[in-house]
């Protein structure tokens, strides 16, 4: 099988990095995520942002987490370090998974993608739910180990372990992925 990649960038939004649900470990992955996205764009690997875009007083997840990434607010915007660039794609989601009631699967099929590279926040939560749907829809799953994280190391480790054991995921770091892009 020839691998056709896309990068899924989950919830790298102001509210998740520096805002309402700010996360120091999330801030720490920004340089690697930036490098990965720049190299992907250079090598024509699609970059797809999967962004929380919640409806206030409607989305039940807000009861659990408080208001965050409300559609149309600063908090719901992609952090400035990561773009987006005109060639990138943006999927708005209202649940943890980037696939749930969005057209992400349709877009990936139209792009001819069979392998998704997961990055962003949080490894054990929105990234994991996105990985679940990717796997169940038949995509090969790769997680970029230094471009995803969680509030704690325990949650991160749990997410990575789950990817490997349950979704047969490959865990690669940014440098390893850049080499793959360059060798395509
Ligand atoms: Zn949310």
What pLDDT score does 167 carry?
97
- Contact present, 147 and 174 (Cβ < 8 Å): yes
What pLDDT score does 53 carry?
98
Please tell me the distance between residue 65's alpha carbon and the centre of ligand 1 in angstroms: 7
Domain count, the chain: 1
Is the predicted pLDDT of residue 120 greater than 80, yes or no?
yes
Please tell me the distance between residue 62's alpha carbon and the centre of ligand 1 in angstroms: 7
What pLDDT score does 142 carry?
98
Please tell me the distance between residue 43's alpha carbon and the centre of ligand 1 in angstroms: 31
What pLDDT score does 81 carry?
97
Give the range of the structural domain holding residue 89, as residue numbers without chain letter. Answer: 5-182
Average confidence score pLDDT of the chain: 97
Q: Which pTM value belongs to this model? A: 0.97
Q: Give the domain CATH number at 94.
A: 3.40.50.850
Please tell me the distance between residue 91's alpha carbon and the centre of ligand 1 in angstroms: 14
pLDDT digits (tens, 9 = 90+) for 73-104: 999 999 999 989 999 999 999 999 999 999 99
Average pLDDT over residues 56-75: 96
Please tell me the distance between residue 152's alpha carbon and the centre of ligand 1 in angstroms: 18
Burial 53-84 (b: 16+ CB within 10 A, else e): bbeeeebeebeeeebbbbeebebbebbeebbb
Average pLDDT over residues 12-18: 98
Please tell me the distance between residue 93's alpha carbon and the centre of ligand 1 in angstroms: 8
Please tell me the distance between residue 3's alpha carbon and the centre of ligand 1 in angstroms: 31
Instruction: Express as a percent the part of the chain with pLDDT over 70.
Output: 99
Output the furthest CA–CA distance in the chain (Å, rounded).
48
pLDDT digits (tens, 9 = 90+) for 35-61: 999 999 999 999 999 999 999 999 999
Please tell me the distance between residue 67's alpha carbon and the centre of ligand 1 in angstroms: 8
Please tell me the distance between residue 15's alpha carbon and the centre of ligand 1 in angstroms: 10
What pLDDT score does 3 carry?
87
What pLDDT score does 91 carry?
98
């Amino acid at each position: 099988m020839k691998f056709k990649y896309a990068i899924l960038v989950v919830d790298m939004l102001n509210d998740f990095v520096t805002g309402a649900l700010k996360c120091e470990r999330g801030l720490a992955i920004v340089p690697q995520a930036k490098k990965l996205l720049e190299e992907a764009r250079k090598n024509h690997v699609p970059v797809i942002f999967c962004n929380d875009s919640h409806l206030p007083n409607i989305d039940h997840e807000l009861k659990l987490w408080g208001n965050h990434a409300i559609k149309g607010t600063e908090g719901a915007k992609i952090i400035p370090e990561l773009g987006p660039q005109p060639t990138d794609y943006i999927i708005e989601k209202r649940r943890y998974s980037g696939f749930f009631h969005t057209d992400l699967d349709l877009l990936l099929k139209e792009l001819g993608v069979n392998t998704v590279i997961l990055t962003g926040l949080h490894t054990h939560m929105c990234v994991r739910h996105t990985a679940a749907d990717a796997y169940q829809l038949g995509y090969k799953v790769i997680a970029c180990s230094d471009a995803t994280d969680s509030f704690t190391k325990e949650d991160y480790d749990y997410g990575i372990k789950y990817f490997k054991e349950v979704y047969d995921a490959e865990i690669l770091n940014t440098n390893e992925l850049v080499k793959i892009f360059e060798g395509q």
